[in-house]
Structure 1
Amino acid sequence: MGSHSDFDYYLAYGNRDSVTIQPQPGILLIGGAEGDKSGEHEATQWFLERAKGGKYLVLRVGRIKKQADWIAQHYRDWIHSAAELSINSREAANNRKVVDYIREADALFIAGGDQTAYQEYWEGTATEDALNYLINEKKIPIAGTSAGMAIMGDYYYAPHHQGVLSSEILDDPFHYNTEHIHRSKFLEVPYLGRVITDTHLDRLNQKNPETRYGRLLGLLARLIYEDNNQLDHYAIGLEEGAFVAIDEKGIATVFGNGTNIGQDAYFLQTNGALPEQMEPGWPLIWDHNGQAVKVYRIPGTPEGSGYFDLNDWSTAKGGQWKYWYTVGGKSGLRKTSL
């Protein structure tokens, strides 16, 4: 364990010796509840195969946890090393040693946690530059779960309060909890330009009294508004047991548990019409004769299923096209098949 100021580095397995490999790019989006999920093993193998026996790095805010240990325990034959790096201030994010740890990576996993902290500590720093070097110059595979997935889109939602509920954003798309929808050059991830992502779509518990499907629709409406009503925007939402693997050609496949619960991925795009009502204090109306937003749903399976082309957002198989729309707020939310 190495600790300095506001960062910690933990080498769970292997060493930092140089390795000569050529990583293969790829993107793994994770719905937020990994940990012995059916389909996780296959998705992890898909990801680690692209590391080509190189150095695996977990990036997070807060204290070091168990993710690198888990990789070292179950997949050490696939990697040269497994380490975790926690970066907890902007000063640490500009530290030369931190930058060196990042640039060494041949596979990067951005952990869950608080995307607001990721934004506040890392955006606009040498850490951001190092991450984009990995993604777009070294071209290594990158994965993100929960908060880690949230910051991988061109747009991202980083609430400074409790995250907005589906009812709040659909009943008022300018609800105060929507003020932290960002577009920046934080992470420049291929195929996720003009995309906002969301995770845990199906989570219901004491802290999450509503699912997030309606929230995803509301976030898409809001970012279109923020970008001068330009319709060419997209959203990707995952249920907690879904793992979306995007290869270097922009083709997405979904790993999951192969059941009807908790393993679906949703790819949203507008269908040629702006919301009919988008005003502060009033419910969102985005109807367009029941065809406001086209959504392709792919259920994940342990072996990987479906095919969705993120180059054109239309070539797809193995799933089902649907329309999502609202005739007025959360109570008016509808989902119908094409």
Structure 2
Amino acid sequence: MKKITFLFALITQILLAQDYTEYATGSSTDINTNHEFGVCMMGGASENDDAMIWFLNKANGGDVVVLRASGSDGYNDYFYTDLGVSINSVTTFVIANEAGATDPYVLEKVANAEAIWFAGGDQFDYVSYFKDNEMEDALNSFVNTKQGVIGGTSAGMAILGGAYFSAENGTVTNAQALSNPYHNRMTLGYNDFLNIPFLDHVITDTHYDDPDRRARHATFLARYATDNNTRAFGIACNEYTAVCIDHLGRAYVYGEYPDYPEFAYFLQANCVGDSMPETCIDGQPLTWNQGGEAIKVAKIAGLYSAENYIDLTDWSNEQGAIWEDWSVTNGSFSTSSTINPQCDLLSVIENQLAVISVSPNPFHDVITITSELIEFDVKLYDSLGKQIAQYTNESQIETSNFASGLYFLSVTSEGLRETFKLVKD
């Protein structure tokens, strides 16, 4: 009988081990630190050390959890000792299936972490194992409630946008995407997985050193715009390049330019006129031209100092960007030089006949909106870009229950938009 019991326990341990493998470095005692929110996205290949230091510093000496579906413990020593940042521990989980992702021990480690990093690999593994279950809930709670720092490289970056390319049927090439935006490999998910501040309506892509990625990424945005009837956005990185987003929504670009051609790309559907694709239907080549200005792209060099950035609260305020127009005509992709479209500024200019003002700033119990607009919508966001309230035709907004801090108030009417940065004292 003892042999049977021992054998059962051994088999149970083996089955559990098949669900996930753990690699632990550092202290086994969990600690709480004064960590900070952030998002760090790497374009693949080896990591940019300066960006990874930024990522670890956000944990403020806390615990780092690495999630991956293949490989082993390659990040443990790199994070724990190689970068010179003091942290309490690094735990890597190599997840084999959904059962591994939803194991109570794994979920507890994720909840107690101050930083979470997704390794590269196959993003459909992450979608299959982490989506629509307790792990998805734990990750969204980590970002939006605990407000920890999160990031990933390659496949780990691919899943961070509000929209994402799942690669369920394998990768998709430039030619396949352009010739049919509904090709069976164009498997996209929309706003049903990770909810990360500043990345709503954003589809990411990686390994942008391959120029074909630009065309398929443009097609991702065309699909998103068509399927959701709204403007689409994208963020992409060359290999060895990183984008790090702080709590105010500024996306700083790390790289080793000009020693190497390391760039990040910030794509947005044109904010002027009709932003929708002309032809984006199953079985036909994509046309998204709009006068050659379908997509406005800020190409930003990654510097050692990461001085270059773009503000994701308006996608216009930037430093160090080279602007390009991207378009597609009958499946043919093209680019040209352009200037900053100043989308946020254009909204203000076009609304000058119906001036909008918001007061007071700083505010305390009430925000007052003054405008000649008859019909308008108001959305209020917290400092992390998360929408916390929405109103229609309201000129007095009660704010007595809001915490002190930074807020963003957006007023829209008939496609026009103006955004205000406000502080509650």
Q: Same fold, TM exceeding 0.5?
A: yes
What is the CA distance between 1:260 and its match in structure 2?
7.2
Q: Does 1:192 align with 2:191?
A: no
Give 2:218's aligned amino acid: L
Which residue of structure 2 aligns with residue 258 of structure 1?
Answer: 257
2 CA distance for matches of 1:280 and 1:308? 34
Which residue of structure 1 aligns with residue 335 of structure 2?
Answer: 334
Structure-2 change in CA distance of 1:79 and 1:261 (3 Å): same
What is the CA distance between 1:72 and its match in structure 2?
2.3
1 CA distance for matches of 2:260 and 2:281? 35
What is the CA distance between 1:261 and its match in structure 2?
4.7
Cα deviation digits, residues 192-241 of structure 1 (max 9, x gap): 011111111113xxxxxx630111101100111111x22x2211111112
What is the CA distance between 1:24 and its match in structure 2?
0.7
Which residue of structure 2 aligns with residue 268 of structure 1?
Answer: 267
Cα deviation digits, residues 28-57 of structure 1 (max 9, x gap): 01101124xxxx121111111111011111
SS at match of 1:112: coil
1 CA distance for matches of 2:28 and 2:80? 15
User: Contact 1:325/1:334 (CA < 8 Å) preserved in 2?
Assistant: yes
Larger Rg: 2
Cα deviation digits, residues 70-91 of structure 1 (max 9, x gap): 2223136421111201222122
Greater Cα offset, 277-286 or 305-314: 277-286
What is the CA distance between 1:322 and its match in structure 2?
1.4
Which residue of structure 1 aligns with residue 240 of structure 2?
Answer: 241
Give 2:46's aligned amino acid: E
What is the CA distance between 1:6 and its match in structure 2?
0.4
Which residue of structure 2 aligns with residue 206 of structure 1?
Answer: none
**RMSD, aligned CA:** 1.8
SS at match of 2:32: coil
Q: 1:121 aligns with which of 126, 129, 135?
A: 129
Q: 2:41 aligns with which of 6, 29, 33?
A: 29
Which residue of structure 2 aligns with residue 103 of structure 1?
Answer: 111
TM-score (norm 1): 0.90
Which residue of structure 1 aligns with residue 346 of structure 2?
Answer: none
Structure-2 change in CA distance of 1:31 and 1:323 (3 Å): same
User: Contact 2:162/2:191 (CA < 8 Å) preserved in 1?
Assistant: yes
Q: Does 1:279 align with 2:285?
A: no
User: Contact 2:225/2:277 (CA < 8 Å) preserved in 1?
Assistant: no
2 CA distance for matches of 1:261 and 1:69? 26
Q: Does 1:64 align with 2:72?
A: yes
Q: Does 1:214 align with 2:221?
A: no
Identity fraction in percent: 34
Which residue of structure 2 aligns with residue 224 of structure 1?
Answer: 225
Structure-2 change in CA distance of 1:84 and 1:283 (3 Å): same
Structure-2 change in CA distance of 1:273 and 1:138 (3 Å): closer
Q: 1:319 aligns with which of 318, 321, 330?
A: 321
